Structure 1
Amino acid sequence: MNKGKNTPNAVPARQYRAFLSYSHTDERAANKLHHWLETYRMPRRLVGTAGRQAGVPPRLTPIFRDRAELPAASSLNEQVHLALSQSEALLVLCSPAARASRWVNAEIALFRKLHPRRPIIAALIEGEPAESFPEALMARDAKGVEHEPIAADFRTDSDGPKLARLKIVAGLTGVPLDQIIQRDAQRQLRRVISVTFVALLLVLLMSAMLVFVARARSEAENQRQQAEGLIEFMLTDLREKLEGVGRLDVLQTVNKRALAYYADQPDLQTLPSDSLERRARILQAMGEDDFKRGDTPEALAQFREAYRVTETLLAASPNEPQRLFAHAQSEFWLGYVDFLRDRNDAALTHFQSYQTLAEKLVRLRPTNRIYWRELGYAQGNICTIALDQERRNDLLQSCKGALDTMLRVQRLEPNDPAIAADLANRHAWMADALRIQGLDRNALMQREKQTAILQALLQRDPKNAGYLQDWMLARYSMSNLLYDLNEIDHARALRAEARADVAQLVARDPANKDWRVWQSKLAKPLAKGVH
């Protein structure tokens, strides 16, 4: 650790952004964090804004880290003392080893003595706080006041490395954490979009190259795989990232280009199986994007073509889980379009086929949580049909089956936020089923369970558009239920909150048809008997 002797009397001017204090048992973690801090660039829009001392700097350098190991020393050396006196903040890596280190405790005590008002940031990298925070970190000052340090928890079940590092940046600069998170996310999004357009240019370039190398079979095959890989990346992985911020318009041009690419290959027999699988996934992704924009005819064309592909693949390998899974998605999307077009009989046929495929997946792979989750989705679709038609005989059974299956999935993966969101939806469906049965108080209990899950998700990721949409819909339904229970003021307050949220969502992405539909519904006054 940071050891030595001699203590100068004067306190020189500030020279270091921070002093990194750690046990040498944690040297690997210290090296990694030190490197990240010294290479991190502040978001451009924050540079020069008001911080703790002056304008926010573009870089967080220099960070002092003592590399000396002097176990025989009896006190902190002069270099360490000088560095502590010249540091704007103290960053302590907390672990059981750090708590046991007399040098870490000595550095904390000296820094607090030299700079009682400068920030001390505790970075928890291992263990619980009680067993990892050095005693000096929690000690009271000369006036008997206990100063709680700024805490950044690197453990995966808490903040995690990414958020913990941004908390440290906030502590060092004095910029509010939410501003840093927002600006950092905007910077990442700009990078992703830039990469997308560069990738699109590459796709166009490779498509042109295919014309010139058509006679070279091996080269043409290589180019085809690269082009398809880029298209799939843009329509699947990238699309998932953009969905989290509620944007549907960015990929519209890419969708059209991908469709043109595959329009030249209508004969399924000419494509290898891996290309067929990729083509089906891309068609489903394109159909989903078109559907969310309100282009139902175009979406239906994509879903039908995907169905043709996945049906062909499944016929060739009827017991292959990957083929079963892919065709299950095709059954779902065609059923979902029929359901939203009020063609419930046609939708039910697709949803029952979807459930049959999911049940077969579970039988083939009984420990696979993804396949159990598909079964929960399939049962939920049957539940939605029953809810829409108010089929009292099998309503509670189908909705309870969907809820029980998703509870089982959560037990298999308790920390997955996507599964938690699915579980919240199942509680909502169960609430609607109970309302149809006239059990409004029981329905309220299910809505409260849904609300608790969504609040936890929003605390974890407050900018997630999907969570915000679910929260808005939950308050819409809760307001209707409370109104029927004659809790009028509470119902009106929830309805007003839901209207404000959907307005923000529509402003974020005006192309999202679903949000505009819900905005119209929320504009209507509360009425008795609305589910």
Structure 2
Amino acid sequence: MDDLGEGRAPRYRAFISYSHVDGRFGRRLHRRLERYAVPRRLAGRVTARGAVPGRIAPIFRDREELSASGDLTAEVRAALAESGCLIVVCSPHAAASPWVAREVELFRSLHPDRPVLAALAAGAPPEAFPDCLRLPGADGVAVEPLAADFRPEGDGERLALLKLVAGIVGVGLDELVQRDAQRRLRAVTAVTGVALAAMLAMGALTIFALTSRTEAREQRTEAEALVEFMLTDLRTPLKEVGRLDILTAVNTRALAYYGDQDLAHLPPDSLERRARLLHAMGEDDLKRGDLEAALGKFAEAARTTGALLAAEPDKADRIWAHAQSQYWLGYVDYLRGRPAPATRAWRTYRALAGRLVAQAPENPKYLREAAYAEGNLCTLALSSPPDPVRALRACGEGLRLMQAAAARMRPGWEIAADLANRHAWLADAYRANRNEAAARAERLAEGALLTPLIAAAPKNMSLRERWIASQRALASIEYRASRIPQAQERLRQAISAIDAMIALDPANRDWAQQRVRLQENLELVSRKNREARD
């Protein structure tokens, strides 16, 4: 019998089923759904799905690959049984996934009256929908379900998300869109004040600059000071509140200022600032998932920074600016799964960072940038197809450069966290080269850095999560080396740490799921230990 019919609300608002090839999309969808706040004028309304909640969390997302037997885990079965609806991330990978099909079939058998919602992530509908979602019509021909189409040529991310929310809470899409737009408009108003004032001031400065050719240089300086404000002091708070729409408006207005200028007669520093503006706009495009728009802006910025560097090849600011262009171009190719062009761009990025270090070997900013560049190449070498030898070389050099930067900086948690991260990646490189002893040493070094950071910042949950991940990795190393008691102890410490985090925020489902996996790891290790003794 359906739990909703019994008056008892399910534990999870929804269960997200997806192929693990689509893991990036699944994680992003999970975050956006759990963070979505239902408009207050809809919250509390009683629908066929029950009372509309203020938030639709918790959402269950299975992040573990199924076992070789193909059977669903007990955790997944329990979550399906306690979910109000099922969201299926549709793509060609999902259509071919037997695990997605099993989750759909089990959910429908448990809850024939609860909705199954489709989220089209990639591919054309005929190749993206699993057969289990194609229900026969009156003529017996399979009919594709209506879907929230997240593709740019479909509904787009915002409307597609609202379609899923409407299906989960049981309200009409039109009303939800209207209420959501009203809520977003009110929320934006406060932040818009600062942005609007900046844009009006910039417009006034631009007009004033054009009224007198004799004062053009002075007015351009003031206008570009305002652009600098938009790129720094204004951009930071807007990013923190997640206002991509306001960021877009501000950046577009700033770019329009340059559109009114004769670029051929702008001084190099102004052109470089315009390139930095294009970097910022491209970064915002990436957050919206618009890789093509981001690539266009990064490519245009690279043309500018490349020309400026060619004119002043030894100037550090020009080298730095073009290095950032190469980083962003490589990052887009990395996200698109194109390792060859990503490698070319990131090798150029590394070469430019190396030129900065050669100019000022003691400059920690340049050393740190060179370490990041090596870290990027390390990441590529560990991905498909893996190159363990190249990964070890890049990861080791990244750590060496980060240590050199740290030696020339005042101690602080940011550089210490960077060092810990470099030890972690080097540990992964050693494991790829089957050097478990060296991997263990690097993980211990990572933990030695994280422990005092956590003691100094006990409320920093991100640091605690990194420490727990480190302990889990160490437990795996100990287990493979047949040091079962050590593996058990590390897992127990990790469980104790996650329990303390859950006590601070019992509603955090991500931590709860981490705890389940750690407990499963501990039970597996303990079982193997008992079998070995027997």
Task: Normalising by structure 2, report the TM-score.
Answer: 0.52
- Residue in 2 that maps onto 1:118: none
* Counterpart-to-counterpart distance in 1, 2:349 and 2:489: 43
User: 1:438 aligned to 2:434?
Assistant: yes
User: 1:291 aligned to 2:286?
Assistant: yes
* Superposition map of 1:101-500 within 5 A: 197-198=193-194, 200-208=196-204, 210-211=206-207, 214-239=210-235, 247-250=240-243, 252-263=245-256, 265=258, 268-292=263-287, 294-388=289-383, 389-461=385-457, 468-469=461-462, 471-483=464-476, 485-486=478-479, 487=487, 490-491=490-491, 494=494
Change beyond 3 A, Cα 1:366–1:241? farther
The structural deviation recorded for 1:470 is: 5.2
Change beyond 3 A, Cα 1:194–1:283? same
Change beyond 3 A, Cα 1:429–1:256? same
- Residue in 1 that maps onto 2:94: none
Q: Secondary structure at the residue paired with 1:214?
A: helix
- Residue in 1 that maps onto 2:49: none
Task: State whether residues 469 and 502 of structure 1, in contact with CA within 8 Å, keep that contact through their aligned partners in structure 2.
Answer: no
The structural deviation recorded for 1:297 is: 3.7
The structural deviation recorded for 1:270 is: 3.8
The structural deviation recorded for 1:195 is: 9.2
Give CA-to-partner distance per residue, 1:58-92, whole Å, 9 cap, x none.
xxxxxxxxxxxxxxxxxxxxxxxxxxxxxxxxxxx
Question: AA paired with 1:288?
Answer: E
Structure 2 regions of 5+ residues with no counterpart? 1-188, 480-486, 525-534
* Counterpart-to-counterpart distance in 1, 2:330 and 2:386: 18
Task: State whether residues 238 and 247 of structure 2, in contact with CA within 8 Å, keep that contact through their aligned partners in structure 1.
Answer: no
* Counterpart-to-counterpart distance in 1, 2:197 and 2:382: 47
The structural deviation recorded for 1:387 is: 1.7
Structure 1 regions of 5+ residues with no counterpart? 1-192, 509-514
Change beyond 3 A, Cα 1:327–1:248? farther
* Counterpart-to-counterpart distance in 1, 2:435 and 2:316: 40
Task: State whether residues 268 and 309 of structure 1, in contact with CA within 8 Å, keep that contact through their aligned partners in structure 2.
Answer: no
Task: State whether residues 499 and 523 of structure 1, in contact with CA within 8 Å, keep that contact through their aligned partners in structure 2.
Answer: no
Question: AA paired with 1:284?
Answer: H
Q: Secondary structure at the residue paired with 1:310?
A: helix
Q: Secondary structure at the residue paired with 1:236?
A: helix
Task: State whether residues 475 and 488 of structure 2, in contact with CA within 8 Å, keep that contact through their aligned partners in structure 1.
Answer: yes
The structural deviation recorded for 1:385 is: 1.5
Change beyond 3 A, Cα 1:238–1:204? closer
The structural deviation recorded for 1:326 is: 0.9
The structural deviation recorded for 1:402 is: 1.0
Task: State whether residues 235 and 255 of structure 1, in contact with CA within 8 Å, keep that contact through their aligned partners in structure 2.
Answer: no
Give CA-to-partner distance per residue, 1:243-270, whole Å, 9 cap, x none.
7xxx251464033322233146456424
Question: AA paired with 1:337?
Answer: V
Change beyond 3 A, Cα 1:450–1:331? same
Task: State whether residues 278 and 297 of structure 2, in contact with CA within 8 Å, keep that contact through their aligned partners in structure 1.
Answer: yes
Identity percentage of aligned residues: 41
* Counterpart-to-counterpart distance in 1, 2:190 and 2:303: 34
- Residue in 1 that maps onto 2:84: none
Question: AA paired with 1:435?
Answer: R
* Counterpart-to-counterpart distance in 1, 2:497 and 2:429: 25
Task: State whether residues 498 and 522 of structure 1, in contact with CA within 8 Å, keep that contact through their aligned partners in structure 2.
Answer: yes
* Counterpart-to-counterpart distance in 2, 1:498 and 1:220: 60
The structural deviation recorded for 1:444 is: 2.8
* Superposition map of 1:49-128 within 5 A: none
The structural deviation recorded for 1:336 is: 1.9
* Counterpart-to-counterpart distance in 1, 2:363 and 2:512: 39
Task: State whether residues 230 and 250 of structure 2, in contact with CA within 8 Å, keep that contact through their aligned partners in structure 1.
Answer: no
- Residue in 2 that maps onto 1:13: none
The structural deviation recorded for 1:324 is: 0.4
Question: AA paired with 2:304?
Answer: V
Task: State whether residues 235 and 247 of structure 2, in contact with CA within 8 Å, keep that contact through their aligned partners in structure 1.
Answer: no
Task: State whether residues 248 and 293 of structure 1, in contact with CA within 8 Å, keep that contact through their aligned partners in structure 2.
Answer: no
Task: State whether residues 280 and 310 of structure 1, in contact with CA within 8 Å, keep that contact through their aligned partners in structure 2.
Answer: yes
Task: State whether residues 239 and 251 of structure 1, in contact with CA within 8 Å, keep that contact through their aligned partners in structure 2.
Answer: no
Change beyond 3 A, Cα 1:342–1:492? farther
The structural deviation recorded for 1:198 is: 3.1
Task: State whether residues 278 and 298 of structure 2, in contact with CA within 8 Å, keep that contact through their aligned partners in structure 1.
Answer: yes
Question: AA paired with 2:247?
Answer: V
Question: AA paired with 2:465?
Answer: M
The structural deviation recorded for 1:391 is: 0.9
**Higher RCO, 1 or 2 (CA under 8 Å, sep at least 6)?**
1
* Counterpart-to-counterpart distance in 1, 2:303 and 2:290: 20
* Counterpart-to-counterpart distance in 2, 1:504 and 1:345: 45
Change beyond 3 A, Cα 1:282–1:203? same
Which one has the largest radius of gyration?
1
* Counterpart-to-counterpart distance in 2, 1:393 and 1:504: 43
Task: Normalising by structure 1, report the TM-score.
Answer: 0.52
Question: AA paired with 2:246?
Answer: T
Instruction: Indicate the RMSD between aligned Cα atoms, in angstroms.
Output: 4.0
Question: AA paired with 1:228?
Answer: E
Q: Secondary structure at the residue paired with 2:242?
A: coil
The structural deviation recorded for 1:304 is: 2.3
Task: State whether residues 358 and 371 of structure 1, in contact with CA within 8 Å, keep that contact through their aligned partners in structure 2.
Answer: yes
